[in-house]
Structure 1
Amino acid sequence: MDLRGKVALVTGGSSGIGSSICLRLGELGASVMVGYRTRGEPAGEVANRIVTEHGVEAEPCELDVRDYEQVTRIVNGIIKARGRIDILVNNAGVGVEGAVTPARPVEEWVDVIHTNLIGSFFCIKAVSLHMLLARKGSIVNVSSVAGMVGIPGLSSYSASKAGLIGLTKSLSKEFAPYKVRVNAVAPGYTSETGMVERIGEEDICSIRERIPLRRLARRDEIAETVAYLSSDSTSYVTGQTLVVDGGLTA
């Protein structure tokens, strides 16, 4: 795979799967805008690693995906400075655990949808005009196996990730005439991520037993799949969700 000369914007790029995605895209030669909302210092460290280790341009980019005006302003600024955005990876996401009960605040549930689903839509809407006019581009939405199977206590997260899969399918057909591809990646349980770190060791052992490959995913394995969909190696792939879960949902 070769991404030299391409410009990528990755939301939620300061840590976890997002940072691994940024590093892999940079390793393949892309200039990377490392999107973050509050973690500016870690985002700067990711950008510095890309510059130092791979000799390509990278910089942190403060971006609250819930704010459409800010998203549009940032995207237009990148276009003005870099000339284009070739790759958009919608990775920013949050999850709030808790059953749906009358006592839980509505705002908690809605905020997850606003960030994970509507935030991704905002980024796509801001970037799409430039991609459609250029008649090229790759959009990769980071969904989850939670969007394919129900997980108790994570209804808002599951709903948001299922929505991303539906959004991917619909937009892939809308954008196909303009040669812009839209795909998704659905990771399973992935080590060194916030969600897994909140799970107790006993439950992790139980999860491993249910995974045919008998282990959690590594972050670089998710990043490799995102890079694959971002590249011209998948020039005839659009509207698809690649599940990376060790066979959990097979």
Structure 2
Amino acid sequence: MSEPTNAAAPTAGWAPGLSGAGAVVFGVGPGIGLACVRVLAGLGADVACVDIDPARAAAAAEAVEECPGTATPFTCDLRRPEQVRRVVAEIAGTLGRLDAAISVVGHGGPPGPVATMPDEVWRDVLQINLDQQFLVTREVLGTMSAQGRGSIVFISSINALGSSPQRAAYGAAKAALVSLARSLAIEAAPQGVRVNTVAPGATRTPRRRHLAEGELAGVYRAAIPLGRIAEPEDVAHAAVFLASDLAAFITGQTLVVDGGATVKYSQPAGN
């Protein structure tokens, strides 16, 4: 039988290490991005709120005025390399360091089969869900590598882990994002930088609220073992965990936040 240990020891390493940290959230509209800003600032981080819409960036910064941390709005079109380069340099200068970066920007595009998908839809969905992640990460990595530490978190999707009928471009982009994170995790590890992804299932964002409140609500409750779709805070908590020192030995991983939907046995009981 092992010797008893100090009762305080298990909690000694449970500090997230975000108080006074420099953090950035790319895409801070109502939903997962705003929730990430609130959680980070609530833990004492100084957060850069980046969005293509200056009003959304300003609203996100104002939403955390009562938090221990601070928030500063920045405007950037993440599809433009020169703008990404500029805004990351501004953020590093304003915050003094960059310890955590969470990239939330993305959209599913219009639904439809691949056989009739217009070229511009394919290009647009991959650009916003994958290309901009590359541009952001390339700039952020420079600052973090110079510091010798940092954490990058991509918001992917459970669409990356299975099929994505009617939204194949979105599924392909999110799957590529998971692969990108794995490759970056190996490349950046010698510089002390970790890279992970969060794969949410259905989430009650402004665009997807109908899944929890409309006629589809019962269908989703029945399909998800925990009986509800995710709240933005559920996803934000997972992302901030991966960004924090609590996940200091985790890199190259995908954390699924879907209430158990993707592990539910799909065939009738007894089959």
TM-score by length of 1: 0.94
Q: Distance in 2 between matches of 1:53 and 1:157?
A: 37
User: Structure 2: which 5+ residue stretches go unaligned?
Assistant: 1-15, 264-271
Judged with a 3 Å threshold, the aligned counterparts in structure 2 of structure 1 residues 92 and 74 are, in CA distance, closer, same or farther, namely same
CA contact (8 A) 1:183 1:239 kept: yes
Aligned with residue 21 of structure 1, among 21, 29, 36: 36
Residue range with higher mean Cα deviation, 89-98 or 177-186: 89-98
Match of 1:122 in 2: 135
The partner residue of 2:71 within 54, 58, 61 is 58
* Alpha-carbon displacement from aligned partner over 1:10-58 (angstroms, at most 9, x marks no partner): 11112211000111000001111111112x22321221121x2114321
SS in 2 for 1:8: strand
Provide the secondary structure at the position in 2 that maps to 1:194: coil
The equivalent position to 1:239 in structure 2, one of 234, 248, 252, is 252
Residue 157 (structure 1) shift: 1.0
Q: Deviations over 1:97-123 (max 9, x none)?
A: 322355542111211110111101100
Q: Which of 56, 63, 77 matches 1:49?
A: 63
Residues 15 and 43, structure 1, Cα contact 8 Å, conserved in 2: no
Which one-letter code corresponds to 1:90 in the other structure? S
> 1:194 deviation in Å?
1.2
Which runs of 5 or more structure 1 residues have no equivalent in the other structure?
none
Determine the C-alpha separation between the residues in 2 that align with 1:199 and 1:4: 34
Q: Quote how far apart the aligned CAs of 1:195 are.
A: 3.5
Answer yes or no: is the 8 Å Cα contact 2:52–2:75 preserved in 1. yes
The residue identity in structure 2 corresponding to 1:82 is: L
Amino acid in the other structure paired with 2:29: S
- Secondary structure of the 1:176 match is helix
The residue number in structure 2 matching 1:224 is 237
1:186 aligns with 2:199: yes
Larger radius of gyration: 2
Cα distance between partner residues in 1 of 2:22 and 2:210: 32
Structure 1 moving runs of 4+ over 6 Å: none
Shift of 1:86: 1.1
Counterpart AA for 2:46: S
RMSD of the TM alignment (CA)? Answer: 1.7
Q: How far did 1:205 drift?
A: 2.0
Contact 1:14 1:35 (8 Å CA) reproduced: no
**% same residue:** 36
CA offset digits 1:43-91 (Å, max 9, x no partner) = 21221121x2114321111121111110001111112222221111111
Any idea what SS the aligned residue of 2:98 has? coil
Contact 2:40 2:69 in 1 (8 A): no
Indicate the larger mover: 111-120 or 192-201: 192-201
